[in-house]
Chain A
Amino acid sequence: MTGKELKQIDAWLDSDLSHEDAAGLEAWLRADPAHLEMFAWASIIHRYLRDLLRAQAMTEKAGEGENSQQGTDPEPQSSSLPTSVPVAPIIIAPFSPGHYSLSTPFVGSWTFACMVATVIVGAMLLGLWAVKVTHHQHIATAPSKSVPSDARPEMVFVGRITGMVDVKWSDDPHYLPPPDFAHVPLGGKYILDAGLMEITYDSGAKVILQGPCTYEVESTAGGYLSLGKLTARVGAVEGKGSRSKVQGSRSASLTTSHQPLATNSNPQSLIPNPLFAIRTPTAIVTDLGTEFGVEVSREGTTTSRVFRGSVKVQVVGDGRQDGVVLRENESARVEQSEGAGVPRLVLPGAVGNPPTFARRLTEPPKLLDLLDIVAGGDGTGQHRERGIDPTTGMEDPVFLFREMARPGERPYRLVGWHKLIDGVFVPDGRAGPVQLDSGGHVFALPGTDGQFYGSIWARAAKVDPRVKEMNYWVHAIDRYEQFTPEKRGLLCLHANVGITFNLEGMRKMYPDQRPARFRAVAGVGEDPSIKEDPRLKDMEVGMADVWVFVDGRLKMRRQLRRRDAPVALDVELGPSDRFLTLVSTDGGNGSAFDRVVFGDPVLKMTPAASEKSVEDK
């Protein structure tokens, strides 16, 4: 038995064998009773698949019907039994598909026993919880003997923990780390052995602690850095002047031994301080509208470096209020004096190599991967093999074929589930100008046949061979490597589909960056069966147009044919552009085999204007 004969048996059962091949199969069957056995075996499976799959399909339909009629049609099933059986000849199915019903065997099963046990244990836990809560409430409401309830101090929150990367808290047994993304109270102390943590004050100021580091929040506009590094960024957001209060005990750290300097307002004050300041054992670094870094060594030496704007550095204990003002890219150091003397200021220029600081929790992306975005990611990951339904804008976890569209039936669909994708559509100029984005931009695209084939799909460059065999056109593309020189993958956009990316959303998600260029390699893919099919060999199938729009303005249009070499696409994006739209349309000869792909589609990111000056320097 060879695979060829088995294929022929399958083809025979599918009525898909030519007269000549069928005659050959018959001769082969006559040659050996073993061949007949193989034929009978395949036929039995064939027939049983039919009965089983249809039975399953009918069961599913009946289930849907029952669900939709629940509570409205209490008619007993038995009354409709004879007429509801769909096919008469099969009286009793010998191998009926398995169904589970709430019958006696289920009640006596382990599953049922476990469910009952779970309910009982759950009820017991609920009871215990109720007892415990009642007890705690009693304690909580009991008046304190030592502190009158009306005199109980309040805990004041001045910000939140807004990010952590690989944080390792101090293993000091007396130190209790805060929960992730917790509110930050006045007096809160953060001791990191490693990693980065970002605190965002209610005023908008951000501080990134870089472990190993010990930092204490001692006012609404600053804190005390006793060891390690931090970066402070002030002035990006206007002070909101808001704070959260809950009843509780005031942190003892407000009576800390670190006395705030006269230059600062009272750290216990709830009025936002006018200037953000970082205190250290030897210096006070006061913000004058800037981004700066401060490092405190184990010896107590403070080093400050300004990235943007300026700061004022004052030496603790020298009695001077003016200090030294550092400007962009300048550094200063305050060293402990030998003995009990006043710390010494090392002026700008004499610092040597200033320390490096982490200015962001994560590096801003230099590229945003559009395949990752289409597959549900934020553009920085490697998500693949997912897509979007161009008719609804919903996620497609599996590639799905869909019916053709009629002119005017497919409006622009917003993609609400993804911040970086504005919407999708099925372009057909026969119904008038086509809407390209949610901003209302339209364009007079040519008329198409309104058909498209399947999901907008983010295909991986390399696909598991088993998937390749079992999948649709997106995985059957021959010589796909030519479209993905960077091996990122393919954005499969069969003719008559459009997708619009939200550039503004990207700027919001990555505030320091902005998309500056769109780059991709476009082409029409074909699979081996097209090339080998003699009927298609000389036909002009696989001809499509690709269009690139920015805010409704046509930036690029290319006509592609299936045998053409890939075309490089490169479109510049402005700092205030909102939408990038990619469209594929059939070439006017129908959409058959117009398998348009955008290989390695990315957005090149560049620092936003405010960042750029610093980066350049």
Chain B
Amino acid sequence: MEVWNTLLYPHAAGIRMDAAEELAMHWTKAQPFVAAYITSLLRDFHRAEDVLQQVAVILVRKFGEYDSQQPFLSWALGIARLETLKEQRREARDRHVFGTDLAEQLGAIYEQMSGQFKAYVPMLEGCLEELDHRARKVLDLRYVEDLKPAEMAEQLCMTPGTVRVLLHRTRTTLRDCIERRMKNLGDRP
């Protein structure tokens, strides 16, 4: 909530209006990649939301220290990596955690790929409309209801294995669809 209030009432947070606008502009572009990065390491949407919010708070607080000559995304991903690491330390030890070096490499990859993702991601909306009812139902259970495959299996009267296959195929369909649409876009004169 602090981030929200800061952006609505920047003067109250001691940030100049032009700086607040600059931060909002940078964050708007970086937020999806930071969110994806944190989610890919933590794998739990709720915990990822918490960390994302914490990252946003830190960005607001430390925005005065940001070197505008450096990419904002790189700065934000660096903070996100540290906050995610803190969160991972609280995780149970029986869960696998990627090494910090791999997490760092991954951050660099996100940064490199951010340009092309901007073009790819909006295609997803159109591709979702191509899915049939059942595929859409599976996605809703996974992403809206936040159910894990085993829980989804109970609801769908399927075995968990079948749900995993279904979920994987649906995602593959979406990924293929985006690539196909991008290719078609590229083929246009």
**Closest chain A residue to B146, Cβ basis:** A50
Given A91-B7, A470-B132, A53 contacting B159 (CB threshold 8 A): no
A530 to B157, CA, bound (A): 12
A26 in contact with B125 (CB, 8 Å): no
Which residues of chain A from 78 to 112 have a CB within 8 Å of any chain B CB? 82, 85, 87-92, 94-95, 97-98
**Closest chain B residue to A453, Cβ basis:** B157
Which residues of chain A from 12 to 47 have a CB within 8 Å of any chain B CB? 12-17, 19, 22-23, 26, 29-30, 33, 36-37, 39-47
B35 in contact with A90 (CB, 8 Å): yes
**Closest chain A residue to B99, Cβ basis:** A26
Q: Which of A14, A42, A94 contacts B167 (CB 8 A)?
A: A14
- B156 interface residue per 8 A CB criterion: yes
- B24 interface residue per 8 A CB criterion: yes
Which B residues touch A89, using CB under 8 A?
Answer: 3, 31, 49, 52-53, 55-56
CB distance from B126 to the nearest CB of A (A): 10
CB distance from A63 to the nearest CB of B (A): 15
A399 to B132, CA, bound (A): 12
B171 in contact with A42 (CB, 8 Å): yes
B33 in contact with A44 (CB, 8 Å): yes
Contact string against A for B residues 102-128, beta-carbon threshold 8 Å, 1 for contact and 0 otherwise: 100110011001000100111011001
**B-contacting 9-mer, from A3-11, A164-172, A370-378:** A3-11
A87 to B135, CA, bound (A): 26
A469 in contact with B166 (CB, 8 Å): yes
Given A36-B109, A54-B144, A470-B135, A91 contacting B44 (CB threshold 8 A): no
Which A residues touch B45, using CB under 8 A?
Answer: 50
- B72 interface residue per 8 A CB criterion: no
B125 in contact with A37 (CB, 8 Å): no
- A57 interface residue per 8 A CB criterion: yes
A401 in contact with B125 (CB, 8 Å): no
**Closest chain A residue to B149, Cβ basis:** A16
- B66 interface residue per 8 A CB criterion: no
Which B residues touch A398, using CB under 8 A?
Answer: 133-134
Tier of interface size on chain B: 35 or more
**Closest chain A residue to B174, Cβ basis:** A45
- A527 interface residue per 8 A CB criterion: yes
Which residues of chain A from 427 to 473 have a CB within 8 Å of any chain B CB? 453-454, 469-473
- A129 interface residue per 8 A CB criterion: no
Given A10-B167, A94-B32, A47 contacting B39 (CB threshold 8 A): yes
- A52 interface residue per 8 A CB criterion: yes
A26 in contact with B155 (CB, 8 Å): no
Which B residues touch A16, using CB under 8 A?
Answer: 148-150, 164
CB distance from A82 to the nearest CB of B (A): 7
Which A residues touch B166, using CB under 8 A?
Answer: 469-470
Which A residues touch B138, using CB under 8 A?
Answer: 470
**Closest chain B residue to A35, Cβ basis:** B109
A51 to B35, CA, bound (A): 10
A46 to B156, CA, bound (A): 21
In the complex, number of A-B residue pairs with CB atoms less than 8 Å apart: 194
A19 in contact with B102 (CB, 8 Å): no
Which A residues touch B106, using CB under 8 A?
Answer: 29, 36, 39-40
- B43 interface residue per 8 A CB criterion: yes
- B161 interface residue per 8 A CB criterion: yes
- A238 interface residue per 8 A CB criterion: no
**Closest chain A residue to B2, Cβ basis:** A88
- A117 interface residue per 8 A CB criterion: no
B28 in contact with A91 (CB, 8 Å): yes
B40 in contact with A46 (CB, 8 Å): yes
A97 in contact with B125 (CB, 8 Å): yes
Give the most central of B49, B135, B159: most A CB within 10 Å.
Answer: B159
Which residues of chain A from 487 to 514 have a CB within 8 Å of any chain B CB? 494
Which A residues touch B2, using CB under 8 A?
Answer: 88
A53 in contact with B105 (CB, 8 Å): no
Which B residues touch A23, using CB under 8 A?
Answer: 96
B161 in contact with A529 (CB, 8 Å): yes
Which residues of chain B from 132 to 189 have a CB within 8 Å of any chain A CB? 132-135, 138-140, 142-144, 148-150, 155-159, 161-162, 164-172, 174-175, 178
A398 to B122, CA, bound (A): 29
**Closest chain A residue to B140, Cβ basis:** A53
B159 in contact with A529 (CB, 8 Å): yes
CB distance from B114 to the nearest CB of A (A): 9
Given A53-B143, A470-B132, A401 contacting B156 (CB threshold 8 A): yes
Which A residues touch B7, using CB under 8 A?
Answer: 91
- A48 interface residue per 8 A CB criterion: yes
A52 in contact with B128 (CB, 8 Å): yes
Q: Which of B4, B36, B40, B165 contacts A91 (CB 8 A)?
A: B4
Which B residues touch A477, using CB under 8 A?
Answer: none
B37 in contact with A43 (CB, 8 Å): yes
- B67 interface residue per 8 A CB criterion: no
A431 to B162, CA, bound (A): 35
Which B residues touch A150, using CB under 8 A?
Answer: none
Which B residues touch A299, using CB under 8 A?
Answer: none
A89 to B5, CA, bound (A): 11
- A49 interface residue per 8 A CB criterion: yes
A469 to B2, CA, bound (A): 46
A146 to B121, CA, bound (A): 80
B124 in contact with A49 (CB, 8 Å): yes
- A405 interface residue per 8 A CB criterion: no
Which A residues touch B178, using CB under 8 A?
Answer: 45
Which residues of chain A from 355 to 405 have a CB within 8 Å of any chain B CB? 398-399, 401
**Closest chain B residue to A403, Cβ basis:** B155
CB distance from A528 to the nearest CB of B (A): 9
Which B residues touch A325, using CB under 8 A?
Answer: none
CB distance from A36 to the nearest CB of B (A): 5
B143 in contact with A54 (CB, 8 Å): yes
CB distance from B30 to the nearest CB of A (A): 9
A91 to B140, CA, bound (A): 23
CB distance from B97 to the nearest CB of A (A): 9
- A270 interface residue per 8 A CB criterion: no
B96 in contact with A26 (CB, 8 Å): yes
CB distance from A3 to the nearest CB of B (A): 8
A40-B36, A94-B28, A398-B133 given; 20 more Cβ-contact pairs under 8 Å: A10-B167, A10-B168, A16-B164, A26-B96, A30-B102, A36-B105, A37-B113, A42-B175, A43-B39, A44-B120, A44-B121, A45-B171, A49-B139, A88-B4, A91-B31, A95-B125, A470-B132, A470-B138, A470-B166, A472-B157
Closest 7 CB pairs of A and B: A22-B96, A43-B40, A47-B36, A529-B159, A89-B53, A453-B157, A470-B134
Q: What are 13 A-B interface contacts by the 8 Å CB criterion? A: A7-B164, A22-B96, A26-B102, A39-B109, A40-B106, A41-B117, A44-B117, A45-B124, A50-B45, A88-B3, A89-B55, A89-B56, A91-B3
Binding site for A on B (CB under 8 A): 1-5, 7-8, 24, 27-29, 31-33, 35-37, 39-40, 43-45, 49, 52-53, 55-56, 94-96, 98-99, 102, 105-106, 109-110, 113, 117, 120-122, 124-125, 128, 132-135, 138-140, 142-144, 148-150, 155-159, 161-162, 164-172, 174-175, 178
